[in-house]
Structure 1
Amino acid sequence: MNAQAQPKQTPSTYVAAATAEEARKLADELMDVMSALLGVIERETELVRAGQLHQAMAFGNQKSELSRRYVTTVGNLKASQKFMSRSAPDLLKTLHRHHDTFRAMLQVNLTVLATAHAVSENVVRGVNAEMQRRNIPNTYTAQGRRTAPGPRHTTPLSVSRSL
């Protein structure tokens, strides 16, 4: 006999709505958590745009907690999707519209953060290039060309990531 190992199915940690009232509560929870998360992200985006990164980092714990609630609520909604599509299709459509708006707002935040990252990376690269330029001896070969610096002439740049 070939006893093949059957993959164990882990029970779902998400709770599906079984009544219209539970579905409505779930929808309200998603709307509340999306609104709260957007509020935090908008404040963070404003601070990053203003260059106040230290203050923006203070929202990390709050964002993590709201993100955890968001993932749990979305999982519960996915588990309830069949029931909600039969019993409350209008509510499901409204949630989809609000979620699309939520994703668009998150995209704005990601764009701001990516821009701040690119700018800071360019600043660090510029500082490094200037340091290396000052440390490299300015000499020429017998053919009149500049010499390429060897590894002993480059100075490593150390950056602290904590603010």
Structure 2
Amino acid sequence: MNQRPQAQPAAVTARAISSPVEARKLAEDLMDVMSGLLGIIERETELVRAGKIREAMELEGQKGELSRRYMVAVEHLKNSQKYLAQVSPELLTTLRRHHDTFRAMLQINLTVLATAHAVSEGIVRGVNVEIQRRNIPNTYTASGQRATPGPRNMTPLAVSRSL
């Protein structure tokens, strides 16, 4: 939705955890980030469903920051997965269950966004067809057939992508 260039954060290499306290902290951080991101995504979904696209776009900054934190936490988890599987398999199972719920909610959000995109694209295409129809002259050839309009009769539709 946005044409602004995104700043690329510096790569963060997360070292593997080495204690049960670090494992618990990692799990809590990941769950907090997923919960925060789910809250933003649910709000965005509600706003898009209500047609309040401008308000939904205002959540972009928060969503971006939480997404960045989520990616860092997942990378840390990947680096620590062997240790977690050995020391705390129940914690790993809990994280997987929470992540499955997280993915399901993301899928709902993506479906709503795709629907909004398809609807808006359909509206723009419909407006373009109507503009073209009005700009094409109704002329006929000598044999009484409808004349095919030339390219000079087609007027392009200009759309501003900023709201």
Scaled by the length of structure 1, what TM-score is found?
0.91
* 1:7-156 superposed matches below 5 A: 13-156=13-156
Whole-Å separation in 2 of the counterparts to 1:15 and 1:142: 80
- 2:140–2:147 Cα contact (<8 Å) kept: yes
Deviation at 1:148, TM superposition (A): 1.7
Residue identity opposite 2:119 in structure 1: V
1-structure distance, mates of 2:62, 2:124: 30
CA deviation vs aligned residue, 1:107-154 (integer Å, no higher than 9, x gap): 000000000000000000000000000000111223432222111000
1:60-92 Cα shifts (integer Å, max 9, x gaps): 000000000000000000000000000011110
User: SS state of the match for residue 140, structure 2?
Assistant: coil
Q: Secondary structure of the residue that 1:80 maps to in structure 2?
A: helix
- C-alpha distance in 2 between matches for 1:148 and 1:21: 76
> AA paired with 2:108?
V
The separation in 2 between residues aligned to 1:25 and 1:143, in whole angstroms, is 82
Runs (5+) with no aligned partner, structure 2: 1-10
Bigger radius of gyration, 1 or 2? 1
Instruction: Report the CA distance shift for 1:49/1:26 in structure 2 as closer, same or farther (over 3 A).
Output: same
Query: CA distance change for structure 1 residues 162 and 34 in 2, over 3 Å: closer, same or farther?
Result: same
CA drift at 1:16: 1.0
After superposing on structure 2, the runs of 4+ consecutive aligned residues of structure 1 that deviate more than 4 Å are: none
Question: Equivalent residue of 1:139, what SS?
Answer: coil
- Normalised by the length of structure 2, the TM-score is 0.91
TM-align CA RMSD: 1.3
Is the 8 Å Cα contact of residues 36 and 66 (structure 2) preserved in structure 1?
yes
Quote the sequence identity (%). Answer: 68
Q: Secondary structure at the match of 1:147?
A: coil
Q: Is the 8 A contact 2:12 2:72 kept in 1?
A: no
